[in-house]
Structure 1
Amino acid sequence: MTAPAPVVLLLAAGASSRMRGTDKLLEPVGGEPLLRRQARRVIEAGLPLVVTLPPHSPARQAALEGLTLTPAVVEDAGEGMAASIRQGLRAAPEEAAVILLLADLPEIEAADLTHIAGLHRADPAAILRATAADGRPGHPILFPADLRPQLARLQGDRGARDLLAAEAGRLRLVALAGERAITDLDTPEDWARWRQTSDL
């Protein structure tokens, strides 16, 4: 029996607090809000998509309108990334590996996700973590289905860092082009610097 395709958990329930009043996930990239761009990249890769969202987020919900995805509202989003992962897992297809994808990585492409999904088919027991071309660790990260119970028990804002350490023997690094795996934009200054050099 063929294993199901990995499901992408697009983690978009953060408060964007470092943007000082604006929402980084609604910043325009290539003529559309970053959140919509990220979701479309997953859909283009042919992977099932769950998007975690904070409560009372009409603008983010509107940015996703018309796309084929499963929204997952994270009522306790203030706890941090673990709450998003737990809620996303509840909405994800059972028995599928999960790809954790941060919503503020504007340079990730559909081909990157397709590549990681292909590596998973070839080595279903491996944890696959994207890195920059020079090896600096980043996102997305694929966790095999057997680690879903551990992901579901995560707490706080450390994400899956402790699980990665505990399962280090299964970790396989996947270099992506340039710095796309580590280019996350959290502040207005980050966005301004990125726009000076990006062609997106």
Structure 2
Amino acid sequence: MADATVTIPTTATIATTGHCTGIVLAAGRGRRFDPSGLQDKLLQILPLGEHSQHSQHIAVQSAQRMAAVLPTTLVVVHPDALRLMTVLHEAGCVTSCCADAAAGMGHTLAHAVRTCASASGWIIALADMPHVKSSTIAALDAAIRDGADIAVPVYLGQRGNPVGFSRQHRDALLRIRGDRGARDIVRMSLVTEVEVDDPGILIDIDTPEDLLQFA
């Protein structure tokens, strides 16, 4: 099936039980941020924005915005990222190490789904996208619980991240390998587009200059 879509607004009814499990992928090396590998971009501090009360690490803000909506949220990290794990734990986040993280995002994603394979669905986010609103995550969660197979957020006509997957795609997610992530699953599936007022779904942090966005 070639990329069929259904569009729904963010006013979808939010149930009180059966939430998806949140997965935050934080196992990349971030070489574009610092080719030397000395600086972990996920440990960089975000500038204090207009609506922020305190500054925060990139990965921590990404994880906490997910955890604010989803009772179960897992952050997947590289086994060598000891400082990142410490910072996440100090912030109250739950982490899991993916031994095969160096083989690509697909391995990390499959590891995450395997770790919480009994979930009713998954909202999969990238740790370097800390500006995604919790309301967007809630809308994706609602879409999956309302019967969507896959839910993607759309801002001003552009699809972004995170992406929600129903349990129907568990086996396919577990088979992912390499660097492509879940793009092929999305491309071949019925997708529900969730319209959001959230430019953060399009903004990731790849370079030091990107830190200034939303400052």
| Partner residue of 1:4 out of 12, 18, 22 | 18
For 1:79-132, what per-residue CA distance to the aligned partner results, in whole angstroms no more than 9, with x for missing partners?
11101111101211504201110111121122211121122222x24310112x
CA shift, 1:45, in A, is 1.0
Moved over 6 A (4+): none
CA drift at 1:156? 0.8
Q: Which runs of 5+ in 1 are unaligned?
A: none
Aligned pairs for 1:1-200 within 5 A: 4-20=18-34, 21-29=38-46, 30=48, 31-92=55-116, 94-122=118-146, 124-131=147-154, 133-167=155-189, 170-191=190-211, 195=212, 197-199=213-215
- Tell whether the 8 Å contact from 1:7 to 1:93 is kept in structure 2 after alignment: no
Aligned residues: 190
- For normalisation by structure 1, the TM-score amounts to 0.87
Counterpart in the other structure of 2:10: none
Deviations 1:157-190 (A, max 9, x none): 01111111111xx201122224211101111233
Structure (1 or 2) with the greater helix fraction: 1
Give 1:22 shift: 1.6
Matched-pair contact (CA < 8 Å) for 1:70–1:91: no
Please give the alpha-carbon distance, in whole angstroms, between the structure 1 residues aligned to 2:214 and 2:17: 37
Larger mean CA deviation between 79-88 and 43-52 belongs to 43-52
Q: Which moved more, 1:149-158 or 1:107-116?
A: 107-116
- Identical counterparts, % of pairs: 26
Flag structure 2 segments of 5+ consecutive residues without an equivalent: 1-15, 49-54
Question: Which amino acid counterpart does residue 161 of structure 1 have in structure 2?
Answer: R
Alignment partners' CA distance in 2, 1:149 and 1:23: 32
Contact 1:130 1:138 in 2 (8 A): yes
Structure 2: distance between partners of 1:57 and 1:141: 25
Q: How much does 1:69 deviate?
A: 4.3
SS in 2 for 1:28: coil
Q: Deviations over 1:43-80 (max 9, x none)?
A: 21133111100012111112112455432211111111
Q: Does the 8 Å contact 1:96/1:145 carry over to 2?
A: yes
Q: What one-letter code is carried by the residue in structure 1 that aligns with 2:137? A: L
**Structure number with higher relative contact order (C-alpha < 8 Å, ≥ 6 residues apart):** 2
TM-score (norm 2): 0.81
